[in-house]
Amino acid sequence: MSEVDQIVPTEVQEEKQYSYLNLGPTHPATHGIFQNVLKMDGEVIVDSTPTIGYIHRAFEKLAERRPYNQITPITDRLNYCSSPINNMGWHMTVEKLLGVEIPKRVQYLRVIIMELARISDHIVCNAVIGVDTGALTGFVYLFQQRELIYEIYEEICGARLTTNIGRIGGFERDFSPKAWEKINKFLTDFPVVLKEFESLLNRNRIFMDRTIGAGGITPEMALQYSFTGVNLRAAGVDYDVRVASPYSSYEDFNFIIPVGKNGDVYDRFMVRQEEMWQSVSIIKQAIKNLPEGPFHAEVPEFYLPPKQEVYNNMEALIYHFKIVMGETEIPKGEVYHCVEGGNGELGFYLISDGGRTPYRLHFRRPCFIFYQAYPEMIKGSMLSDAILTMSSMNVIAGELDA
């Protein structure tokens, strides 16, 4: 038999041609540095491969060389839309390790700050969902209010975005009358604007058609993928760290945990919207019941003394030197502390071997954990829904990449 006879003609197959689209790393619609290689059949997404790590800054390694009070600025840069929550979470973790009793007033002040941060985080996310569906007006309205929150931060700690607010043991100073004035102004102005924003979007036919059923997830899947925060609650699981394991006197407050049903973009939007109302109510309760007392715990070995005393008082000078040089006595131990961050359970797993720096510090970053479900969530949906799904999940690049 000749060679020619052996050749079997290959069957002609109608092979489907997919196109590949690089969404990112820097795409104006993704609000951060995310790369997704999308396998597309027309405008429908067949598969996607996310690449992360573009702004990885090795926080866990850096933390192994820094004294405890110098780690607070690192936490700022995790979820930079709500830095104060991260700062407070870190302070509370160290206080748990040290076994420091925190005065009631500090806890209430912390609640006020954390709830303001939650509102500002939700403002960013919900306003941007509006932008991605083509409604820019609400974004402008709400971002003015976010500016007011930043002014409150500025009044309390001097910084706006990466706040480094508070200290281990309390606050660096009490809230000034000007700060209270600004908080009260915010509490009277904000509900009006939020109401206006809701009237623009909540029952808007175009917005509802666009968001209902897009990027949904079942509660079973959400739990499988270790979702927390708004994304989990929108799927119908009522887990909130503030209620499940209360910290900083959250047990004293009366508030509702809103839950969704379908876990889609609309539910996530609505859950955030309701949480903002609840946060306003929590802040009002905190101001109403604010106890009198000191603004920091009496722990001179960990809390920086006032500068005036450093110049005039021997002990204060010694403590100041020790704290600044990171030579404080830290007990050995292992703690996990979690707070309800802007987008989920933000956990700090800290191992101390008694040295000046942590032996190991692991951040449980909610974004990093739930973003892995993103390919699953956008499979079979349109490209424009994929953009919307990402912005509604509140994925923050800084937290994702640590």
- Contact pick of 60, 151, 154, 301 for other proteins (by CB under 8 A): 60
Inter-residue long-range contacts of 274-281, CB under 8 Å, 24+ positions, other chains counted: 275/118, 275/122, 275/230, 276/118, 276/119, 276/122, 276/123, 276/126, 276/194, 277/191, 277/194, 279/115, 279/116, 279/118, 279/119, 279/122, 280/115, 280/119, 280/187, 280/190, 280/191, 280/194, 281/254, 281/255
Q: Which stretch binds other proteins (CB under 8 A): 21-29, 288-296, 301-309, 335-343?
A: 335-343
DSSP 218: -
CB of 223 to other proteins, least distance (A): 6
Choice between 52 and 106, CB closer to other proteins: 52
- Contact pick of 136, 140, 192, 244 for other proteins (by CB under 8 A): 244
Residue 76's SS3 state is helix
Q: Assess 325 for contact with other proteins (CB under 8 A).
A: no
CB of 98 to other proteins, least distance (A): 11
Query: In this structure, what token pair is assigned to residue 351?
Result: 């191992």
How far is 81 from 117, CA to CA, in rounded Å? 8
Q: Assess 190 for contact with other proteins (CB under 8 A).
A: no
CB of 233 to other proteins, least distance (A): 12
Helix, strand, coil % in the chain, rounded to nearest 5: 50, 10, 35
Choice between 107 and 357, CB closer to other proteins: 357
Q: Assess 336 for contact with other proteins (CB under 8 A).
A: yes
Residue 43 neighbours by CB distance under 10 Å: 11
Site string for other proteins, 342-381 (x = CB under 8 A): ---x-x-x-x-------xx-x-x---xxxxxx--------
Choice between 157 and 390, CB closer to other proteins: 390
- DSSP-assigned beta bridge partners for residue 382: 44
Contacts to other proteins by CB under 8 A: 52-53, 56, 58, 60-62, 64-65, 96-97, 221, 223-227, 237, 239, 244-245, 333-336, 338, 345, 347, 349, 351, 359-360, 362, 364, 368-373, 401-402
